[in-house]
Chain A
């Protein structure tokens, strides 16, 4: 027998999670959880709907950065002009998840905690140096997004913990990000490869900071330091792009499946990383 509760404070939600006698599941948008309920893959005794907690929904600007409530749906993220301006890559990644209908419900926290290697928003969030605020019985902790997923379907969250919000930092001038994924059609598919790139350029167009993250080519999203190193200290010339491509391919540890072979994914990872970097540089160049 399934029970449902919709607490109105973070503390109440933590108490419900910590005190649950069986399996408890946190519900935000539910676009993965309800499918799992229906298929029998998830068999919770308790569902804790976090959308009635005021701070857990909505977008706020803070200290020049942004706080995105964990249960904020993609449609609301896409409607936030200030966020689109500051973090176009994060917004385009979040908005690639599913259809218009899915966007009406699906959230960043759900995309992250579902822990699919192909989650679209995750590479973009990691590239953005986003952090999560995690609430639990021992209070709150702030964790980089890359510290949450430990493998397909698995996270580092304790059974009494859930994500309350994401923080996106303030951007220096000349900064921008981009996310691209490869799918064999134009819409409504799951990434064969995804790449999130965030860069900061100096007034001369030289890259002073970069983060490159690949999705769907390993059990978790990969933060590729060598790929960022190929960009930093130079303009985006042919050599930088070649270095990025090589570093991205070297980092891949993909699987063969119906969406792509190992060889194909590795090749495409280099191409998608180049293209995402090119978009990020174009955007950053307009902001110097």
Chain B
């Protein structure tokens, strides 16, 4: 079995791993690197539970081969809190009860952070469209959107 050697950066840390060509970035994050925050939902790019950023772009880790991470900078949910200090999005998700089972939460947080990094003052409509690729079967989305908009306001210092 020939394996590929990949040098990448994950949450700011230089990281190396060996993998087979068919493995996805999600497979390697979860099974090799034990970063199990990114979830495997649909494995077809529909649910967003595996959302990560690669060189700042939001993507589904299930739709990217692990070998493609060579030389790129990957950010996962594990990079969001600073030690025990939650990111404002994480804090607002708790305050607004924007999660129930929690399976979709890491993906939603990563996707919402990508939105706020790009647009610090999104409208509700912009937030809803941006997050349309993150499915939640529990909350009905309303609390999630409120949490995201509230976190955006806090990050703007309002």
Contact = CB atoms under 8 A, between A and B. Distances in A.
Interface of A: 1-4, 6, 27, 30-31, 34-35, 37-38, 47, 49, 51, 73, 75, 98-102, 104-105, 187-188
A102 B45 contact: yes
Given A30-B63, A101-B48, A105-B63, A49 B57 contact: no
A37 B62 CA distance: 11
Interface of B is mostly: mixed
B8 to A, nearest CB: 14
B1 A1 contact: yes
Q: Interface size for chain B: under 10, 10 to 19, 20 to 34, or 35 or more residues?
A: 20 to 34
B21 interface: yes
B44 A35 contact: yes
A100 B64 contact: no
Interface in B53-69: 54, 57-60, 62-65, 67-68
Given A4-B4, A4-B67, A98 B133 contact: yes
A27 B65 contact: yes
Contacts of B64: 30, 34, 105
Scoring B59, B70, B130 by chain A CB atoms within 10 A of each residue's CB, the highest score goes to B59
B86 interface: no
B21 A105 contact: no
A4 B21 contact: yes
Contacts of A187: 129, 132
B22 interface: yes
A1 B2 contact: yes
